[in-house]
Chain A
Amino acid sequence: MVSSRGQMKIQQMIFMIVAVTLLFILVGVFFLSINLSSLKKSSVNLAEENSMILVSKLANSPEFSCGNAFGSSRTNCIDFDKVISLKDRAEYSDFWGVAKIEIRKIYPNEGDKLCTSKTYPDCGVLKILDKNVKILPYSSNFISLCRKETDGKIIYDKCELAMLLIASQDKTQ
């Protein structure tokens, strides 16, 4: 009688331990599946974040940034008068560490009209660097594209909304 009661107790304990273990495994699998599903999203976010940082770094570099030319110091502000002179400069081709750098006006929308010394400033796309290599997808960020403008009477600061796009070389091959 005592022996069968003891066996019963041991069985109860085993069942309980198995149940608790299963519960933990199920909960663990549940959270693991949630974490794994968000892992890909996290990696995409991380890549995007790195690109954003690179774009911002570029926009705020001395070669691009407005500095104090338009009053106080501004973030994500690119001096159009300055960057037009950087277009197709061979000595800068490896300086930025990227394959393509492009500025595209958002508003006012000037379409795909390329910026050259003749079309400047009424143009839509300024290609600062355009290496002929296989590239990764573009990273972009909004910037303020500023220049000095005149209406015949006064010289004033004219800032437009634009997007800075960069693409790195695809070295996977």
Chain B
Amino acid sequence: MIKKNNRLGQEEMVGFAVIAIIISIGILILISFMIRSPVKGDTENYQVDSFIGSALQYTSDCEGETEFLSLQKLVIACGNEEICIDGRNSCDALNLTMMKLIDNGWNVGENSSVKGYNLKVLIDGQEKLSLNKGNETINFKGGFQDFARSGRNYEVSLNVYN
């Protein structure tokens, strides 16, 4: 009788183990499908990347020694704490120009699809400029561009909240 009970108990355990294995395999298959699903947001980020790239080429009204500085050169000038020929601080010129570009490029507002933005300029990992407007939401498009000059690393990142 005890032997029979033991055998029945073993059968139950084997059945339980088989079911546990089947469920585990099912969960693994579902997880693999979830991992393989395409990453979204690449397209959205593309436009932000294009904005940053185009904005960095913008010719500002800050005149350097030989030319009017592009925004990229203005970022470098700001990092070197240089001043424009008209006496303005290059960081102030950068701040103002960047704000005008973003405000014109992204229509931020309650009734707009763009609810806010957050721009950061980092020099050697340290935040040099930060511009915020509107609300930060969980849906956002983000992009960044980095470059290096004279051994220093510059990074401009922008998040646009929808």
Contacts and interface: CB of A to CB of B under 8 A. Distances in A.
Contacts of A157: 59, 67
The secondary structure that dominates the A interface is mixed
A22 interface: no
The secondary structure that dominates the B interface is helix
Nearest to A56: B50
A31 interface: yes
A11 interface: no
A38 B104 CA distance: 31
A107 B104 contact: yes
A77 B53 CA distance: 9
B53 A75 contact: yes
A142 B57 contact: no
Counting chain A residues whose Cβ lies within 8 A of the other chain, the interface size class is 35 or more
Given A20-B23, A45-B43, A142 B104 contact: no
Interface string A67-110: 00000001111000000000000000000000000000011010
Given A144-B58, A158-B59, A159-B57, A106 B42 contact: no
A102 B37 CA distance: 36
B50 A143 contact: yes
A157 to B, nearest CB: 7
Contact of A156 (B23, B30, B68): B68
Given A52-B47, A142-B55, 10 more contacts: A20-B22, A106-B104, A141-B47, A142-B53, A142-B105, A144-B57, A144-B58, A156-B59, A157-B67, A158-B68
22 contacts: A13-B15, A24-B26, A31-B33, A31-B34, A42-B40, A45-B44, A48-B44, A49-B46, A52-B43, A52-B47, A107-B104, A141-B47, A141-B50, A142-B50, A143-B54, A156-B59, A158-B59, A159-B70, A160-B58, A161-B55, A161-B104, A161-B105
